[in-house]
Structure 1
Amino acid sequence: MTSLREKLPSLLYATSALFMAVMIIIYPQAVLQASQKGLEVWASIVFPSLLPFFIMAELLIAFGVVHFIGVLFEPIMRPLFNVPGVGGFVWTMGMASGYPSGAKYTARLRQEKQISQIEAERLVSFTNASNPLFIIGAVGIGFLHDAKLGILLALTHYLSNFFVGICMRFFKRGQATSKARYNFSITKAFEQLHQARIHKQQALGKILGEAVTQSIETLLKIGGFIILFSVITEILSTIQLAEICAQVIAFFLQVIQLPVDLSLPLFTGIFELTIGASAIAQTEVPLFFQAIAISIILAFNGFSVQAQVASILAETDIRFLPYFFARLLHAFFAGCFIIVLYLFFYSKELAKPALSLIDLTQTTTLSLETFGWVITFFALLIYLYILLFKFFHQSRFNHTRY
């Protein structure tokens, strides 16, 4: 007979689901508006900005480029982060495309047995970062209307994440990890690339089709989480529960001498960082404190992104708890670094090369906001076409077979 302690999670899950169902029925208008807001963010920005990275990463994995990078990066990734060289691919793609890319590619490497469970838990802890387009474009230019601060937030985000990786290299250091060791060798790297491509044994058309379908399936799941947590945040705000929880946050803000006006936006950002960052930027507190709060929630990721990561890791034996601990560590580092870097750099002009980056990011962001939904629409049409093609092809094969 199961104990009360074992039954408690089941009771908690069932109660939470029932509560949300009742709230959706009671507040349909608020839920509809929150769903539309989440869908708009996903369709116009998240989907078109992540889809090219996801497809390209799938192709790089299929063609053996990850194995090539693994050999070259081994002398760097091992001493710094205590993970194999293939972690360099995950780290780079995670920074370029944003979360939950780091979790997706880490899980993929684990499924292919290229890294051990402990190495995967170390790797995912520091490779699941926000992309520079979102930090500089959406947050810096869109929310704060200050491109220089967007660059500073991006620098803080990646620097603090680097130190998270340094700290997590000691996670379960005594336990066995993969024993593969490579010296820097271009010849060996190409040999690994060739063997990986040969081992795949798939036609080019099938590889392309799988890259598209797997990428879109992941993005559909991400879209569901964005909409869900947008609805949860709106419901908590509608029933005034968010304000009650914000009072607890306000107490801690007073202790560390931060403006209490940030309490409710911070609570919102704990659930969904995009909505939280927008709310923080709309407060009347000084820009310095806004930067601290946004830097913290960017590092924490928000429960929305964490839920996306948990769903991806659930397909493997990678545990979620080390990742969650790393997010707390990242939030601490990010809060400390933004204070130092803001005081040191912000009063001075940033380097001129950053200005071209500002212009490029601003143009890209505006383009996504205008035409992003068009890219999303046509990509979904292609996805449906591939699924129907596979379905009819499989049906014809089964008919011929029998």
Structure 2
Amino acid sequence: METELNKKIINLKALIAIFVTISLVIYSEQAFEAAVNGLHTWWEIVFPALLPFFIIAEILMGLGVVHFIGALLEPLMRPIFKVPGIGAFAVAMGLASGYPIGAKITGKLRREKLCTQVEGERLVSFANTADPLFMVGAVAIGMFGQPKLGLILALAHYISCLMVGFILRFYNPKTDNKDAVQSQITETNILKKAFNELYKARRSDNRPFGQLLGDSIRESVNTLLLIGGFIILFSVLTEILTSIGITNILTSLIAFFLRPFGFEKSLILPIISGLFEITNGSHLASQSSAPLGQQIIITSGIIAWSGFSVHAQVAAMVEGTDIRLKPYIFSRILHGIFASITTFLLLKRLNLNLENLVTDVTNLHGEITLTLGYWERFSQMSFFLILLLSSLILLSLIIHIIKRITIISFHHFN
């Protein structure tokens, strides 16, 4: 029975591949334009934005700095999210640098047995997020023309992300394996523990710095080439599906779910596009004829969902590990729903006069810009990363000190 099912799946994959190939030939002009647009997005935005952080992440792991940070953050991450402290580095890099660096770091942690299979599945599900400069620069300013909306989108995105991370702490399937070290901070001196972890990791790696730097650059560039391929591929696939008319079939299905919530039909095309790629979906949402509040809510959901293009990148980042993607896909759906609801509540709470913002949006002429130069973007992302890690470490140390005081007081009174 299972063999027959596998045969049907293989046949289906082959038919899909043939269908896509024929479509590429028929709609070659549209496919070429979509590929150029995807290449532009990758080369102008994704490559320069992610390359430095990919290289830095590789170097920090090779030097043992990530293990040092992990030991310091264990008192925070383990009780709240049921992931090792070292996972906080993946979360911080994901928050600061965007898709898919959180997944890349999680995959590396799992390969080095620094987290269990289930911990890796928890971690990749909420460490892979959009970066704040994309939401503020590209979406709020570049697409909607309103910097104020960037704060709402970012707050909704990160609040809902943390909600998903907390919910996933209860994800504990029976297949949970026990092959990774469940590191707990048992030493009184947490700094001593952190430095011991740093020295141990550095001795284990033992590559000269020159080799470490070269390996980091080589692996980072190869990873970004893979990401570029996914961006171009899904840009082409989205355009082909639109040209063929498959989007029209999906329209009636999505309209059925939108109708009870009062959303306009003009948001259906952005949702369909956002299923595959967040930039195009967000742009189309900003250009729809729906009320601005509805545009923002749908855009927030699209960004949180992140699109099949990012999902494929995540699958590639965790390739070679036993991390399963079903929890990740579930978390993307959950994140999209939570982000949309949180955006709605924030719009109500902040009581923005959206009617006055509409006139500014109409002057954009459909242009997408990041509004920031490369060095300004890089410096702001670096500052956000340092600030975030420093805040998490400070909070973790406070929690550790409180625990130690509680334990000492307990022993004193007993």
TM-score w.r.t. length of structure 1: 0.86
Q: Deviations over 1:344-392 (max 9, x none)?
A: 125289xxxxxxxxxxxx99744249999xxxxxxxxxxxxxxxxxxxx
Q: Within 1, Cα distance between the matches of 2:295 and 2:310?
A: 21
Q: Within 2, Cα distance between the matches of 1:263 and 1:128?
A: 26
Aligned CA distance change for structure 1 residues 281 and 82 (closer, same or farther; 3 Å): same
**Aligned alpha-carbon RMSD (Å):** 2.2
1:288 to 290, 293, 301: 293
Preserved contact between residue 106 and residue 124 of structure 2 (Cα < 8 Å): yes
Q: What does 1:119-268 align with in structure 2 at a 5 Å threshold?
A: 119-172=119-172, 175=176, 177=178, 178-183=181-186, 185-268=190-273
- Secondary structure of residue in 1 paired with 2:99: coil
Q: How far has the Cα of 1:2 moved from its partner?
A: 6.4
Preserved contact between residue 272 and residue 302 of structure 1 (Cα < 8 Å): yes
- The aligned counterpart of 1:382 is none
- Secondary structure of residue in 2 paired with 1:151: helix
Q: How far has the Cα of 1:13 moved from its partner?
A: 1.0
Q: Within 2, Cα distance between the matches of 1:186 and 1:369?
A: 34
Matched, 1:26 2:26: yes
- The aligned counterpart of 1:302 is 307
The code of the aligned residue for 1:169 comes to R
Q: How far has the Cα of 1:216 moved from its partner?
A: 0.9
- Secondary structure of residue in 1 paired with 2:221: helix
Q: Deviations over 1:238-283 (max 9, x none)?
A: 1111122122111211122211110111000001111111111111
Q: Within 1, Cα distance between the matches of 2:51 and 2:76?
A: 29
Preserved contact between residue 137 and residue 371 of structure 2 (Cα < 8 Å): yes
TM-score w.r.t. length of structure 2: 0.83
- The aligned counterpart of 1:340 is 345
Q: Within 1, Cα distance between the matches of 2:241 and 2:8?
A: 23
Aligned CA distance change for structure 1 residues 3 and 190 (closer, same or farther; 3 Å): closer
How many pairs were matched up?
360
The code of the aligned residue for 1:233 comes to T
Q: Within 2, Cα distance between the matches of 1:155 and 1:213?
A: 35
Aligned CA distance change for structure 1 residues 288 and 176 (closer, same or farther; 3 Å): same
Preserved contact between residue 149 and residue 346 of structure 1 (Cα < 8 Å): no
Matched, 1:5 2:11: no
Q: Within 2, Cα distance between the matches of 1:230 and 1:214?
A: 24
Preserved contact between residue 242 and residue 264 of structure 1 (Cα < 8 Å): yes
Q: Within 1, Cα distance between the matches of 2:238 and 2:317?
A: 22
Matched, 1:331 2:336: yes
2:276 to 250, 271, 278: 271
Q: Within 2, Cα distance between the matches of 1:336 and 1:39?
A: 33
Q: How far has the Cα of 1:285 moved from its partner?
A: 1.1
Q: Within 1, Cα distance between the matches of 2:143 and 2:12?
A: 36
Aligned CA distance change for structure 1 residues 371 and 30 (closer, same or farther; 3 Å): farther
- Secondary structure of residue in 1 paired with 2:270: helix
The code of the aligned residue for 2:325 comes to F
Q: Within 1, Cα distance between the matches of 2:320 and 2:48?
A: 25
- The aligned counterpart of 2:373 is 367
Q: Within 1, Cα distance between the matches of 2:207 and 2:182?
A: 29
Q: Within 2, Cα distance between the matches of 1:163 and 1:95?
A: 14
Q: Within 2, Cα distance between the matches of 1:281 and 1:199?
A: 50
The code of the aligned residue for 2:185 comes to Y
Aligned CA distance change for structure 1 residues 38 and 371 (closer, same or farther; 3 Å): farther
Q: How far has the Cα of 1:286 moved from its partner?
A: 1.2
Q: How far has the Cα of 1:231 moved from its partner?
A: 0.4
Aligned CA distance change for structure 1 residues 85 and 369 (closer, same or farther; 3 Å): closer
Preserved contact between residue 133 and residue 365 of structure 1 (Cα < 8 Å): no
Preserved contact between residue 44 and residue 370 of structure 1 (Cα < 8 Å): no
Q: Deviations over 1:32-90 (max 9, x none)?
A: 10000100010000111111111111111011011101111110001110011001111
- The aligned counterpart of 2:318 is 313
The code of the aligned residue for 2:233 comes to L
Aligned CA distance change for structure 1 residues 34 and 370 (closer, same or farther; 3 Å): farther
Q: Within 1, Cα distance between the matches of 2:230 and 2:251?
A: 23
- Secondary structure of residue in 2 paired with 1:84: coil
The code of the aligned residue for 1:117 comes to Q
Q: Within 1, Cα distance between the matches of 2:100 and 2:141?
A: 23
Q: Deviations over 1:159-212 (max 9, x none)?
A: 100000000001117745542211561121112112211221111111001111
Preserved contact between residue 44 and residue 368 of structure 1 (Cα < 8 Å): no
Q: How far has the Cα of 1:331 moved from its partner?
A: 1.0
Aligned CA distance change for structure 1 residues 204 and 125 (closer, same or farther; 3 Å): same
Aligned CA distance change for structure 1 residues 134 and 57 (closer, same or farther; 3 Å): same
Q: Within 2, Cα distance between the matches of 1:15 and 1:26?
A: 16
- The aligned counterpart of 1:383 is none
Q: Structure 2: where are the runs of 5+ without partners?
A: 355-367, 379-414
Q: Within 2, Cα distance between the matches of 1:9 and 1:150?
A: 43
Aligned CA distance change for structure 1 residues 295 and 363 (closer, same or farther; 3 Å): closer
- The aligned counterpart of 1:63 is 63
**Which stretch shifts more, 127-136 or 172-181?**
172-181
Q: Within 2, Cα distance between the matches of 1:18 and 1:192?
A: 52
Q: Within 2, Cα distance between the matches of 1:246 and 1:315?
A: 37
- Secondary structure of residue in 2 paired with 1:169: helix
